[in-house]
């Protein structure tokens, strides 16, 4: 992209407030944290419910960004940069993308549907890449923001586009249609699930079809509802003659009629009829969703006039699509970001941003294969890649492949290997330790072997943490806060069992204001991990005061004894204005100053300059239960009274906070200057109606160690507590009470999920294992199982065990490996 900034005034219907000189824009950005922002970046300051990018403009100007699309200009920056003033920055971003799209005139595949979009996109990319220079949406960039960001990456060298469009409610597709302007439309599986944003299935289909308003062909699976929507659609949008290109398992009038379908050894053999001829096709998958997606690809290839033989040859190479960037623990204290299945320029940019946000070690390493289909010449491409890597302050680069090897001199601190085997041979000499490693390679390089070498080996039970869901839940609670209310996130007990440091990193990235931990050593390990956010320690023991000071943690002070002890050490160290947090007991009766100690507290702090009251807080006993509404209000009133007294008599103006998660939901009037978010971040609400707005964060997974069938009359496990009344198939799972699975969850009370079916736990849960009844479930050794997550939920387990989700989450033993992904 090389755009004259001033020429955009008209395109974006913007007002120009800037200098006269010509400015060339080479890329656009919406993320203030990206290290890729620079003088040639045009930054779109999007403002959402939760985050207003305008607040980062000063920071960006300091970092050298000079060009902004804004909804208003922060006062003091007039004259310091170029501003394009618009009503809506999102709308401007979309207009810009639509304008960019119109500069190109080659086939563009537009995909929509409820399931399968990303897979069909990736597969089409694979199938068509021998013949085209393809630009496609990176990952699942299919939203109102993701689509424009994907489309603006089109350049002169591309000759085919593949973009997906995802919508969650009505009136969204119209905008995406303007940006993608597909010439080949594909409707993937539409699903029957009731979607929140739509009245019914017909409305959902109607909205999705709008992507194809101007599109000469629509590829889809024939079915009555879609057909009736389509005929309605044709009546409304008769702009051009349009071809419907359909397939079906049951309807011989479809353009491609699947006559036969047969599964054999994980492979599906189909026979299809097209233009009165029959062809065989082998699809290397056995599940029906994959077969449907492959058939969508088949139709696209037929439409592009590929012959049956070429189609068959290419389809055999289809592979499972990994859409996630996974963070894993590596050997020698490394952490690795596994993106071992793709290598293209766009997704490299995304992966490098992710690397920056997730780095647990100061040192960053990138292992990169040759890059295909960039749309640039190799010379240009590796120049750009080297630039990008330098901008991202990567410490070492390992290039694998003959092409990247020949451009080695473009990189600094770069080692190269001709192929993956060469790297593996040299592995021991590379001394990987204490670094965050991004592994990014095209499929043919089989970088999964490198991941395997670098990954820390543990047993198969893992707790998977979805970082996107954490972001979602954070934003949900942020949207409930009044203006300027700060947010402290409680990451005590390893982030409620989900992983302390990784989650703290994410929260730092999201710019929360404070972290809260229970004990000093939790705070110390966060600081050692590089966390810069201020951290409050709820329960500082006096033996830890010295290290609290050393690590710049901030203690909660809840008694005169504690205060005096802290003051003594603080004076010895000649501290001034050291931040402390005063905890008031307003009725919880756990920790805190009671009303009758306030005068003495004031006396002690008056005129004291060793410490400074950073905040005053209290904790509610019943914020989750409106039955105790009056009691809760009495706590809030007492907090108001005592904190006001402290503030008046000491003439201080600290942050005040009393609400935890349930408090945020139930007592919005008591947000004061900050709230303390805990369980809600991890996807659990104490309120069923709120629960549906939260996303599940943790999924506890394991595998099947062994499967056997026992006859009626045999028993399972210690004490013979399960007796088979009929022939029963039993699977053993390597997770037990030492991992945090309560014994109360055994003996028929609880269940796990295998292939999305319930398998009841039979007999007693053992220390390291449990057994389940898998009669009627088609499963085998090595298959993955789910202990909790979407189902059963931790809340469901907690209810059955007469406890609370907090206990279930925090009981998962630290020997269970945590894997983070987004």
Ligand X SMILES: *Cc1c(COP(=O)(O)O)cnc(C)c1O
Query: Known catalytic residues?
Result: 492, 718
Region 434-453 residues binding ligand X, contact defined as CB under 6 A = none
Which strands sit side by side in the sheet containing 134-136, from one edge to the other? 134-136, 160-164, 108-112, 184-187, 217-221, 243-248, 256-264, 267-274, 277-283
Return phi, psi of residue 819, to 5°.
-120, 125
Q: How many residues make contact with ligand X (CB under 6 A)?
A: 11
Q: Decide if 461 contacts 470 (C-beta within 8 A).
A: no
Q: What's the Rg (C-alpha) of the chain?
A: 29
Q: CB under 6 A: which stretch of 71-79, 139-147, 318-326, 655-663 binds ligand X?
A: 655-663
* Residue 679 is a binding residue for ligand X (CB under 6 A): yes
Cβ burial 430-466 (10 Å sphere, 16+ → b, else e): eebeebbbbbbbbbebbbbebbeebbeeeebbbbbbb
Q: Which stretch binds ligand X (CB under 6 A): 325-333, 561-569, 673-681, 751-759?
A: 673-681
Q: How far is the CB of 429 from ligand X (least distance, A)?
A: 47
Q: Is residue 637 marked as binding?
A: no
Nearer to ligand X, 3 or 659 (CB): 659
Residue 538 CB, nearest distance to ligand X (Å)? Answer: 5
Q: How many CB atoms lie within 10 A of CB 598?
A: 18
Among 342, 660, 696, 702, binds ligand X (CB under 6 A): 660
State which residue, 110 or 678, has the beta carbon closest to ligand X: 678
Q: How far is the CB of 518 from ligand X (least distance, A)?
A: 7
Interface residue with ligand X, options 538, 580, 616, 797 (CB under 6 A): 538
Residue 279 main-chain phi, psi, to 5 deg: -135, 150
Which listed range, 123-131, 234-242, 475-483, 657-665, lies at the site for ligand X (CB under 6 A)?
A: 657-665
443 labelled ligand-binding = no
Beta carbon nearer to ligand X, 427 or 631: 631
Contact flags string 607-646 toward ligand X, x per CB under 6 A: ------------x---------------------------
| Closest among 394, 349, 347, 388 to 367, alpha carbons compared | 394
Residue 341: which residues within 8 A CB-CB, separation 6 or more?
Answer: 319, 321, 322, 441, 443, 447, 448
Q: Under the criterion CB under 6 A, does residue 463 sit at the interface with ligand X?
A: no
Q: Least distance (Å) from ligand X to the CB of residue 684?
A: 8
Q: Among residues 506, 445, 442, 449, which one has the least CA distance to residue 472?
A: 506
**Secondary structure of 674-695 in the HEC alphabet?**
EEEECHHHHCCCCCHHHHCCCC
Binding segment toward ligand X, per CB under 6 A, in 256-264, 440-448, 674-682, 700-708 = 674-682
Residue from 661, 702, 764, 795 in contact with ligand X (CB under 6 A): 661
Among 678, 698, 736, 789, interactor with ligand X by CB under 6 A: 678
- Angstrom CA distances, 376 to 4, 132, 413, 445, stand at 21, 13, 24, 21
- 372: DSSP letter: -
Other Cβ atoms within 10 Å of 802 Cβ, number: 7
Give 101-161 as a DSSP string: HTT--S-EEEEESSS-HHHHHHHHHHHHTTT--EEE-STT--STTHHHHHHTT--TT--EE
* 794 near ligand X, judged by CB under 6 A: no
CB of 507 to ligand X, least distance (A): 14
Environment class of residue 171 by beta-carbon count within 10 Å: exposed (0-12), middle (13-18) or buried (19+)?
Answer: exposed
Rounded to a whole number of angstroms, the minimum distance from the CB of residue 73 to ligand X is 38
Which residues between 553 and 572 bind ligand X (CB under 6 A)? none
> Shortest gap between Cβ of 499 and ligand X (angstroms)?
16
Closest-by-Cβ residue to ligand X is: 678
Q: Which is nearer to ligand X, 283 or 515 (CB)?
A: 515
Q: Which residues are annotated as a binding site?
A: 590, 767
User: Which residues of this chain interact with ligand X, rule CB under 6 A?
Assistant: 490, 538, 619, 660-662, 676-680
Q: Which residues are annotated as a binding site for substrate?
A: 590, 767
């Amino acid at each position: 992209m090389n755009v004259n900034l001033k020429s955009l005034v008209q395109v974006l219907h913007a007002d120009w407030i800037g200098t006269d000189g010509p400015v060339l824009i080479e890329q656009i950005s919406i993320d203030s944290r990206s290290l890729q922002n620079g003088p040639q970046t045009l930054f779109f300051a999007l403002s959402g419910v939760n985050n207003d990018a305008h607040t980062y403009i000063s920071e960006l100007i300091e970092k050298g960004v000079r060009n902004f699309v804004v909804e208003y200009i922060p006062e003091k920056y007039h004259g310091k940069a170029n501003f394009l003033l618009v009503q809506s920055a999102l709308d401007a971003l979309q207009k810009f993308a639509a304008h960019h799209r119109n500069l190109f005139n080659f086939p563009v595949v537009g995909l929509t549907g409820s399931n399968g979009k990303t897979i069909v996109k990736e597969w089409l990319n694979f199938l068509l890449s021998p013949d085209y220079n393809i630009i496609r949406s990176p990952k699942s960039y299919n939203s109102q923001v993701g689509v424009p960001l994907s489309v603006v990456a089109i350049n002169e060298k591309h000759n085919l586009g593949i973009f997906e469009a995802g919508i969650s409610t009505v009136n969204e597709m119209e905008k995406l249609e303007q940006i993608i302007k597909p010439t080949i439309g594909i409707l993937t599986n539409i699903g029957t699930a009731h979607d929140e944003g739509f009245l019914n299935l017909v409305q959902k289909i109607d909205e999705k079809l709008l992507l194809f308003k101007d599109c000469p062909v629509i590829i889809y699976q024939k079915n009555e509802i879609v057909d009736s929507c389509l005929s309605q659609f044709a009546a409304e949008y008769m702009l051009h003659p349009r071809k419907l290109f359909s397939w079906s398992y049951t309807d011989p009038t479809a353009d491609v009629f699947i006559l036969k379908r047969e599964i054999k050894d994980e492979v599906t053999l189909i026979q299809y009829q097209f233009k009165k001829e029959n062809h065989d096709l082998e699809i290397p998958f056995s599940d029906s969703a994959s077969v449907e997606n492959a058939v969508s690809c088949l139709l696209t290839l037929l439409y592009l006039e590929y012959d049956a033989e070429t189609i068959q040859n290419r389809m055999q190479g289809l592979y499972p699509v990994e859409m996630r960037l996974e963070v894993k623990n590596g050997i020698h204290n490394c952490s690795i970001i596994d993106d071992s299945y793709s290598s293209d320029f766009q997704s490299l940019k995304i992966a490098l941003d992710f690397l920056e946000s997730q780095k647990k070690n100061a040192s960053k390493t990138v292992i990169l294969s040759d890059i295909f289909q960039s749309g640039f010449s190799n010379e240009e491409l590796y120049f750009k890649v080297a630039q990008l890597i330098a901008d991202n302050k990567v410490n070492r680069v390992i290039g694998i492949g003959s092409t990247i090897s020949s451009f080695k001199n473009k990189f600094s601190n770069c080692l190269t290997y001709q192929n993956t085997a060469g790297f593996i041979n040299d592995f021991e000499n590379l001394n990987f330790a204490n670094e965050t490693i991004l592994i990014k390679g095209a499929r043919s390089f089989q970088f999964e072997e490198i991941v395997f070498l670098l990954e820390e080996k543990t047993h198969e039970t893992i707790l998977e943490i979805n970082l996107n869901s954490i972001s979602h839940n954070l934003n949900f609670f942020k949207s409930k806060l009044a203006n300027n209310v700060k947010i402290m996130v409680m990451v005590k007990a390893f982030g409620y069992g989900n992983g302390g440091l990784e989650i703290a990193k994410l929260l730092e990235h999201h710019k929360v204001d404070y972290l809260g931990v229970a004990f000093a050593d939790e705070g110390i390990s966060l600081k050692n991990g590089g966390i810069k956010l201020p951290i409050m320690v709820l329960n500082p023991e006096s033996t830890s005061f010295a290290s609290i000071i050393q690590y710049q943690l901030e203690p909660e002070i809840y008694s005169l004894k504690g205060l005096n002890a802290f003051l003594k050490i603080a004076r010895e160290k000649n501290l001034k204005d050291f931040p402390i947090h005063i905890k008031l007991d307003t009725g919880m009766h756990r920790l805190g100053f009671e009303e009758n100690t306030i005068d003495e507290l004031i006396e002690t702090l008056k005129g004291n300059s060793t410490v400074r009251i950073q905040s005053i807080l209290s904790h509610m006993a019943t914020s989750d239960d409106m039955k105790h509404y009056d009691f809760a209000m009495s706590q809030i009133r007492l907090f108001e009274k005592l904190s006001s007294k402290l503030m008046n008599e000491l003439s201080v103006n600290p942050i005040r906070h009393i609400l935890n998660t349930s408090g945020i939901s139930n007592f919005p009037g008591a947000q004061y200057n900050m709230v303390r978010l805990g369980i809600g971040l991890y996807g659990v609400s104490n309120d069923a109606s709120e629960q549906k707005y939260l996303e599940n964060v943790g999924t506890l997974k394991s595998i099947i160690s062994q499967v056997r069938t026992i006859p009626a009359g045999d028993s399972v496990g210690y004490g013979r507590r399960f007796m088979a009344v009929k022939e029963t198939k039993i699977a053993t799972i390597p997770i037990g009470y030492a991992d945090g699975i309560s014994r109360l969850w055994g003996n028929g009370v609880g269940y796990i999920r295998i292939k999305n079916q319930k398998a009841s736990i039979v007999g007693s849960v053992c220390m390291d294992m449990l057994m389940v009844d898998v009669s009627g479930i088609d499963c085998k050794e090595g298959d993955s199982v789910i202990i909790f997550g979407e189902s059963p939920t931790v809340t469901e387990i907690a209810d059955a065990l007469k406890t609370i989700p907090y206990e279930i989450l925090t009981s998962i033993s630290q020997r269970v490996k945590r894997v983070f992904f987004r």
